[in-house]
Amino acid sequence: MLTHVTRCTTSRSAWTTLETLFTSQSRARTMQVHYQLATLKKGSSSVADYFQRFQSLTDSLATVGQPVNDFEMVAFLLAGLGPDYDPFVTSVTTRVEPLSVEEIYGHLLSHELRLEHHHSSIDLSITGAHYAARGGNPWCPTFWKGAFTTIFQPTVTWQGAQHSLLSWPWLFSSPCLPSL
């Protein structure tokens, strides 16, 4: 920096040189942060982590005198979400009354919890494939009564309520299954 002002003969030219230097650096930094905001993706990170990165970038732009307006903030925030959030994005973008960024963040957290709940359900076809891969008949394992009921606690969510598979005798009516 000193090398830039040593050639200046007046204080005015020194200040002009410094202003030009910092303005170009500031403009480059602003462009870089704006690009990061435009290309920000949630990916596999949590909603909280994604929103923190998003908020950090918008705060950086506001600090250098380039605040992002509410409409653009919502657009950038929604653009970085993955396909699991497409129904959410559609519902937000088709609303008559716009939501604030803070309201969207709260709804995103709720949507993430619902996604985690749906992804944590037991898929019995995968369980059956696992049993078959171990050399057994997935519909006729010899350890259903002990291991399956203790480890897997067979329940499903159906019509909004938890149901025990053990209460559905027709499901276990195969002649090769032990009585539960």
Same domain, 6 and 84: yes
Cα–Cα distance for residue pair 76/58, rounded to 1 Å = 10
Over the stretch 119-154, which tens digit does the pLDDT of each residue have?
Answer: 775 555 555 444 444 555 444 444 444 444 444 445
Domain count, the chain: 2
Confidence at residue 117, expressed as pLDDT on a 0 to 100 scale: 83
Same domain, 94 and 63: yes
Same domain, 52 and 104: yes
Same domain, 72 and 93: yes
Structure tokens at 18: 């410094």
Same domain, 132 and 112: no
Same domain, 11 and 90: yes
Over the stretch 57-76, which tens digit does the pLDDT of each residue have?
Answer: 999 898 888 899 999 999 99
| Mean pLDDT across 28-56 | 93
136 lies in which domain range?
124-172
- Of 119, 134, 163, the position where a domain reaches its end is 119
3-state secondary structure the chain: CHHHHCCCCCHHHHHHHHHHHHHHHHHHHHHHHHHHHHHCCCCCCCHHHHHHHHHHHHHHHHHCCCCCCHHHHHHHHHHCCCHHHHHHHHHHHCCCCCCCHHHHHHHHHHHHHHHHHHHCCCCHHHHHHHHHHCCCCCCCCCCHHHHHHHHHCCEEEECCEEEEHHHCHHHHCCCCCCCC
60 contacts 88 by C-beta, under 8 angstroms:
no
The residue with greater pLDDT, 39 or 26, is 39
Identify any residues that bridge with 157 across adjacent strands, giving them in sequence order.
Answer: 162
H or E element that contains 49: helix 47-63
The pTM is what? 0.57
Same domain, 80 and 138: no
Structure tokens at 135: 């050399």
Same domain, 85 and 137: no
Same domain, 128 and 115: no
H or E element that contains 114: helix 101-119
Confidence at residue 138, expressed as pLDDT on a 0 to 100 scale: 46
- Of 119, 142, 164, the position where a domain reaches its end is 119
Same domain, 79 and 63: yes
Over the stretch 74-128, which tens digit does the pLDDT of each residue have?
Answer: 999 999 999 999 999 999 999 999 999 999 999 999 999 988 887 775 555 555 4
